[in-house]
Structure 1
Amino acid sequence: MIEIAIVAGLILLNGVFAMSELAVVSASKPLLRSMSERGQRGASAALALAEQPGRFLSTVQVGITLIGIVAGAFSGATLGGSLAEALYAAGLPETASSALGYGGVVAIITYLQVVIGELVPKQFALRNAEAIACLVASPMATLSRIAAPVVWLLDASTRLIFRILGMSETNEDTVTEEEIKSMVAQAAETGVIERDEKRMIAGVLRLSDRRARSVMTPRTDVELMMFDEDFTVLQAQLNKARHSRVPIASEDSDNIIGVLVMREYFAAQPKDHRALKRLLRTPQVVPDTMGALDVLDTLRQADFPLALVLDEYGHFEGIVTPADILEAIAGVFKSDLDDNEDDEAVRREDGSWLLAGSLTADELADRLGLDLPEKRDYQTLAGFIIDHMQHIPATGEVLEHEGWRFEVVDMDGRRVDKVLAAPLPIAPLL
């Protein structure tokens, strides 16, 4: 019985080493760092081990190797001999009883070591890596100091081989955007975060890749008014304005002389052009290629948070406000849609989508799972359609792309207004 207890103890100790190895290696360093800052016991030691994986893995390997040698030798010498004697006493030939005795013990010990000493502990480690890492870190650090000469030799040998192969010993401690997106998607699938939260997080991540042109309100949707109009006519137009801020141009629609805040206009009730001009606010001016995050920073520091977007030729392309940045993250608000507009993306019962031509390309990719190039000459679904067709489409024209059928169902003049996107049927396997 004592022999069985010793072997069982060695198998369990092997399990502790296996669990410690996987827990420390798979634990999140940022989370361990946060736990350490909160003063959680063992977190600092676990973080130190995780940041020196070579020494830690060498320590674990020393332990597992020694346990394997001791368990194999001890079980063979004691349990194997005892089982062989029992089989011989039961009437088996000496050669057969010896082979079955030692072979049987080795098979059983190997099975128990794989299941109880490896697989089960590693499953435990994967379930709560950070907590287990904190628990085992201090004993492992102590063992590393005790076995320092052997650990140093193994670690140095490993580093030497990596240098010979021209490889770095460890991967950089970085998290890619794709990994973040994958984690967010998994969290949404398991219910840890809401699906709307997932969409907003995706919007925030996309913001760094977007340009001013892709977040602005385009010129065609801007309520632009000409300062040179007869004041009575201009006043009548302003009184019917649908937006809270109205750009005012002079002589040419590209020459914006200021932006009128309608609340201030109605409060002041100017009687002529001169009085009206005193009310105009000076907006920021940004190029259409400026990054969305830089645009946000510009708006944050501006006294008047509205920016005119100009192209490389100085032509007025649209405006950007904090509301446009929020819309890029959270989506379009229903109150911002015109009375005759529907939502930009409506899913139908048959799995198809009725999409607005103004739907951003990023939102299109998210909705339909398309793989769009990062560098592209279009920012909207309408631009996507025109870019692939290479001409202004007519109502009823169809484009097939990445398993989807895009049909232009409505044109607003020369602008793509509505598109019906339906999944293409999957071809049967031959």
Structure 2
Amino acid sequence: MISLADLQRRIDANELSPDAAIAQSVEAVDAQDKTIGAFVCRAEDPRVANSGPLRGIAVGIKDIIETSELPTEMGSSIYRGFRPRADAPVVMMLKRAGATIAGKTTTTAFAFVDPTATLNPRNHGHTPGGSSSGSAAAVAAGMIPLALGTQTGGSVIRPAAFCGVAAIKPSFRMLPTVGVKCYSWTLDTVGLFAAGVKDLAHGLSAITSRPELMPDAAIAAPRIGVVTQDFAGAPEPAGGEALRIATLAAERAGATVRELALPDIVAEAWRIHPTLQEYEAHHALAWEYRTHRDAIPPLLRARLDETTGLLPADYDAARRVANRARKALAQLFDDVDVLLTFSAPGAAPKGLASTGDPRFNRLWTLMGVPCVNVPAYVADGGLPVGVQVIARFGNDAGALEAARFVEEALARL
């Protein structure tokens, strides 16, 4: 994989020009993407900036995020050839930081669960996850150092876990979702994929102009609460092993680690997540569902058909539960710095029929808290399995620092 932080260091030291760095990514995409299929379209003549912290950094943009110079087709025939007149604000934030848009990465249709044809670079017989399939795969295959994805249920953290890359779902609305095809305005969150946690910190800091996100040389040993989300069901053996290994590594490195039980209202929030998601989806996709229903892929169409009876009263009740759960969760962080839990039930499922199960992700999306995937274990077949580090809302710097602590602790095992 390509380290964003290392590229920045080499460019700053004049060891590598921005043009040469972009050329390396273009060559890597040329070599890899015929097999992996991570890109739906590419920039024909990528513009290389000579200034900005992300100069020389090639970025993939999930194809539900609007770009003025490339089509935005949202994984759907309904939008074939659609070209917005303006870039989404988050794309402009990248450009202002000097990044070069390499192309649009594959997405499941409207970021739901109908799979793409993208292959997992770690094992081509297994899914890369979804809905940010192409973004995770492009980084994992060493094509680009940074990619944008989105998460409504688990679509950043889960594909990162399956492909063995670092990823952050930041605090809700740290990155703007204007110009991103909406599925659920309460849940949709823009996130980042990169080779390692330090690379995520460098990327997010540059995009947001937040120097506090940059990693310190020394990392304080965090207080970690391990949560197993029993209400979401048992993990697969590989998922359990990843959490066990990460917990052991953190303890050996000096972290204070203890198991925590989540309050009942938080478990209830996990249960009502689909109500919020699907009620809002019916509004967000109302035009597509009414005028192009037959062109909507089968799994999404079936979900919309099944949930037409959701009432405003159901939605309002779910919102009240979510608000109470966020307050209860915030109190847990009085006693610990971060939570550690599963990124996915286990390794990537075999075949491309499923993008994986978001049951260990969806709660944290609803809570709006920052989550970072850290690769922790390699299961049979060379399949990575991750864990996620979760911090208090707004403490993205703390989430990244603790995740780097876990990442470095795992490297020393």
Q: Which has the higher contact order (CA 8 A, sep 6+)?
A: 2
**TM-score (norm: length of structure 2):** 0.21
**TM-score (norm: length of structure 1):** 0.21
**Which structure would you say has the larger Rg?**
1
